[in-house]
Structure 1
Amino acid sequence: MEQAKTAQDGETKRGVLAHLEGLEAQMNRPCKRYEELQRAQAEESAPRTRIHKPQHLRGKLRVELKQQQVRGKVFSANVASDPTVEIGEQEVLERKQESMKAILQAYHFTGLSGKLTSRGVCICISTAFEGNLLDSYFVDLVIQKPLWIHHHSIPVFIPLEKIAAKYLQTDIQHFLFSLCECLNAYSGRKYQADRLQSDFATFLTGPLQRNSLCNLLSFTYKVDLTGQSSFCARLLYEDLTATLPTDITVTYQESEALSALWEEQRVSHEGLFRTKPLHHVFASFAREEALGLSLAS
């Protein structure tokens, strides 16, 4: 009797435990589903998080940069308004020397070089055209306040004083760049005129006239060696930094009216002078002449 009661009590306990375990499982199911939902949402939002993170960082950096710029402007304004904050003149000159060194290093492979002197710096400007090294010029600068040119070898017809007045005190790099442009363009124009006189003199029916700056050239030339047809050319280089003319006038030497063929040739010559260096134009005339002679023979 007692054994039967004990067995019954054990079954009752197991039934209660089973019932409790069932209730616990039912309570845990929503928690598991919630955890699974959170995990899925996290996985889904991970790419968006990776995208938004750098965007957020970039925005933060922008804000910090603006704040630094504002602080810099405020600091500059305070320095400018505070008479007790002064930069020594010697320090200013030292900064200009360092700036000059950097400029010389930057321009070393563009034909500009130089060395420091006891007064400042001596700059050498080497000119070139179409890979041909031409003349070199120097400018000896005294680094004082204000900067000034001690002596130089720049030709008198180069507007050195005008360039210096415009840039020397405010932008030394622009001063050197403008001077290099003018000198290289002058050397290029002179090189073309010299080549025309030395290599294609047989095409000229008179002297080549040019001014010292070589920005105005005039000459008479024939397009065939028989001399039956001649043209007069006037080339004006209004831009002193250019090696191609900006204003071209080609006229027929004879007074009678041009035929359609000669007018077409005249217009063609103007186009050649506008787009090609002078010696290249006459090299093309020489090729045409040689081709005509070979066909005639």
Structure 2
Amino acid sequence: MEKLGKNMEGATTKGVLGHLSQLEVEARSRKTHPHPQQRSRVKELKAEAEALMTQRDQLKAEIQTHKSLQKLRMSMDKQRTNEEEEEMDEDSENSQLLQLMASHTHLRDLLHAHHLIGGYDIIKTRQGRGVCVSVGTAYEGVYLDTYNLEIDLKPMLRIGRHNIPPFIPLNSLAERSDMQTNMRAFLDTLSRHLNAFAGRKQQLKFVKEQQKSVEVMESNVLCSILVLMFTVPREKTAVLCTLDYTDHTRCLPTRVHFECEDKELPDSPEWKKNCSLLMETPVHKALTTMKKMGNIV
């Protein structure tokens, strides 16, 4: 019996030791070969750590840049302050006040004159004995040329120097608008003439740039006459088109005339529509429509 008890005790001890040994092996195995989920989590933590370090470096660089800019601004402000202090004298405050009052009076006079003449730019000339008026031109939202004219105020209103084109009847417009009593009416009329001329000139420019198959046969400096050569695609017939802008305050023609060997073509319904199109639409846009419809090459 005593021998049997010793054998059982040895077996129990061996079993416990074996179990412990097995647990140790499994623990080592887990350290050496971690679970897939553990490996994935480790990668995520490493990636997050790298991203945070990158963000930290960027913030450091931005902070350093802001510090450098702040130092530069402080240095420039200090230099500007020193220069202003050097330029100041004992009467500087009184001088600045007088300049401010003069500027205020000048601005008030300009605003009053600006209102009286309908919003045109104006500046005083020759110590208030005259004014210089600027008239801007534009077409389809694009600002073009600006024209200036100097008007003497005393003893009566009189047009002096100017850069208005010579084919614009400036003196005639001044007489018809009664410039002496209605300056705004004169400037409005002049503005319509100049803007219409600028619009016609711009249309002619677009025709030359956009319609290579259309030949410009004739035009004048006022762009009040425009002669174009078309080609009808089917018969290869040449059509001479004359646009007459008798109303010099408009960008559209008052008369359109077609000439070609086919005497019946100008009176055809198709070309009557083309005539109406040219009279109601800017010429460069009308030509684009005519080309899309297959009326010209």
TM-score (norm 2): 0.57
* Structure-1 separation of matches of 2:255 and 2:294: 27
Give the share of equivalent positions with the same residue, in percent: 27
Q: Secondary structure at the match of 1:234?
A: strand
Check 1:283–1:151 CA distance in 2 against 1; reply closer, same or farther (3 A cut): same
Unaligned 5+ segments in structure 2 are: 1-108
Unaligned 5+ segments in structure 1 are: 1-95
Q: Secondary structure at the match of 1:233?
A: strand
User: What aligned pairs does 1:279-294 form with structure 2 within 5 A after superposition?
Assistant: 279-289=284-294
User: Is 2:180 the counterpart of 1:175?
Assistant: no
Cα pair 2:114 2:121 within 8 Å, conserved: no
User: Is 2:254 the counterpart of 1:243?
Assistant: no
| Letter in structure 2 aligned against 1:202 | S
Partner of 1:267: 272
* Structure-2 separation of matches of 1:227 and 1:199: 24
* Structure-2 separation of matches of 1:241 and 1:161: 16
| Letter in structure 2 aligned against 1:101 | H
Residue 129 of structure 1: CA displacement? 1.2
Deviations 1:38-85 (A, max 9, x none): xxxxxxxxxxxxxxxxxxxxxxxxxxxxxxxxxxxxxxxxxxxxxxxx
Residue 149 of structure 1: CA displacement? 1.6
User: What aligned pairs does 1:12-27 form with structure 2 within 5 A after superposition?
Assistant: none
Check 1:124–1:230 CA distance in 2 against 1; reply closer, same or farther (3 A cut): same
| Letter in structure 1 aligned against 2:115 | A
Partner of 2:231: 222
Check 1:102–1:264 CA distance in 2 against 1; reply closer, same or farther (3 A cut): same
TM-score (norm 1): 0.57
Partner of 2:67: none
Check 1:198–1:208 CA distance in 2 against 1; reply closer, same or farther (3 A cut): farther
Partner of 1:103: 116
| Letter in structure 2 aligned against 1:121 | V
Partner of 1:131: 141
Partner of 2:264: 258
| Letter in structure 2 aligned against 1:273 | L
Check 1:143–1:218 CA distance in 2 against 1; reply closer, same or farther (3 A cut): same
Cα pair 1:197 1:208 within 8 Å, conserved: no
Q: Secondary structure at the match of 1:196?
A: helix
Q: Secondary structure at the match of 1:201?
A: coil
| Letter in structure 2 aligned against 1:277 | P
Check 1:200–1:147 CA distance in 2 against 1; reply closer, same or farther (3 A cut): same
User: Is 2:197 the counterpart of 1:192?
Assistant: no
Partner of 1:276: 281
Deviations 1:134-161 (A, max 9, x none): 1111111111121112200000000101
| Letter in structure 2 aligned against 1:269 | N
* Structure-2 separation of matches of 1:113 and 1:284: 39
Structure showing greater Rg: 2
Q: Secondary structure at the match of 2:268?
A: helix
* Structure-2 separation of matches of 1:265 and 1:281: 14
Cα pair 1:186 1:214 within 8 Å, conserved: yes
Q: Secondary structure at the match of 1:100?
A: helix
